[in-house]
Structure 1
Amino acid sequence: MADTDIDPEGFVTGPHRVDTPHPGLVDALADLWGRVTVAGGAVGYTATDSVDELRAGAEELVEDVRNRRVHLITIGQQHVLVGMAVVRPRRLPVRRHTGELAWLAVDPALQGKGWGKQLLDAAVVQAQALGLERLDLVTRSGQDLDRFYEANGWVERGRWPGAVRVAPGDDRDEIWFTRDV
């Protein structure tokens, strides 16, 4: 991962929808996921996961963006990716009116400044533009993310106790949310 200095008070651009991924997007995503993960964030990885694992996940996401299977929304600071959201429309005929907020991540240095809400709002607008009627998401307990999503119009629909293992002896609940868009 790159050594990145993020200015908590610096200028941030976006949110922007990524239609054509640039060559450095895989590394930028892996770097962001690494910074969020090391700070304890919930992006699907643990602090012991290798950079190669992060890059593999980022390569898969970028391929999905290229093939229009997902819609990526980003924010940046001085050419550094500092936040992202991913909307994944459902593909089965009976679910085509729905989609998933597959990722929402903000660099730890910028958390608590409203960027997560801006990305979340942009994801809802993107879902509406795609003709979706409902979104769902899955997150984990332990970081007050449930309060964040509830404050932004999402409704908790269920929990799976202990479904997420962050580290040995540190199991968290998986929490399911939905929202009409």
Structure 2
Amino acid sequence: MTRIRTRIQRLSATELLAAADTLGDLLSDVVADGSSLGFLVPFSPDEAAEWWRSLAPAVADDRLAVWTARDGDRVIGTVSIAFADKPNGRHRAEINKLMVHRTARGRGLGRTLLTAAEHAAAAAGVTLMILDTQTASPAESLYRTAGWTQAGVIPDFATDPSGTLHPTTLFYKHVGLEAVGPGR
């Protein structure tokens, strides 16, 4: 097993734009491997890089936070948090696009990225996090073992990259000081 020297970093909008090509390589790899992330095959690295570039305004406005895991200059993992923009929802945020390159899986990187996002959300005042994932995917096991609670399953919610419909499992997790407060 090749040793990975991982560096986790939250990206500014400028850094996101600079990393768009290598993020595109990661995203197209994960989609090609069958992960349901909202994209259909064929999905080129160039198309994926353009999608990442389109997120720069949301990152600049602090509506979205993006972290990368790098091995040298190569992005091998990422996770994002979308912050709620409604006044009555500022206590919650959503985990988006947690992905690890297939050559870097099985080494705890997904959990490391998830934990970094949870800690950053709590530091930003978030107390409730939500996410969804394809039912019965490897990610579902990760979320369960990381302390996330299943809220339900929606049938035929999204397609995999080949266009086949699959159910989606919704999860939530309390983070921050409120996570250990009364009633939790």
TM norm structure 1: 0.87
| Greater mean alpha carbon deviation, residues 114-123 or residues 52-61 | 52-61
Aligned partner of 1:120 in structure 2 is 114
Q: Distance in 2 between matches of 1:77 and 1:62?
A: 23
Letter in 1 for 2:72: Q
1:17 aligns with 2:20: no
Structure 1 stretches (4+) deviating beyond 6 angstroms? none
Aligned partner of 2:24 in structure 1 is 30
Structure 2 unpaired stretches of 5+? 176-184
Deviation at 1:45, TM superposition (A): 1.6
Deviation at 1:50, TM superposition (A): 4.3
| % identical equivalent positions | 24
| Aligned partners of 2:21 and 2:45 also within 8 Å | no
Letter in 2 for 1:42: S
Aligned partner of 2:54 in structure 1 is 60
Q: Distance in 2 between matches of 1:116 and 1:17?
A: 15
TM norm structure 2: 0.86
Give the one of 131, 140, 155 matched to 2:149: 155
Q: Distance in 1 between matches of 2:138 and 2:111?
A: 14
Q: How many residues align?
A: 173
| Aligned partners of 1:43 and 1:105 also within 8 Å | no
Task: State the superposition RMSD in angstroms.
Answer: 1.7
| Aligned partners of 1:10 and 1:77 also within 8 Å | no
Deviation at 1:92, TM superposition (A): 0.3
Whichever structure has more helix as a proportion of its residues is: 2
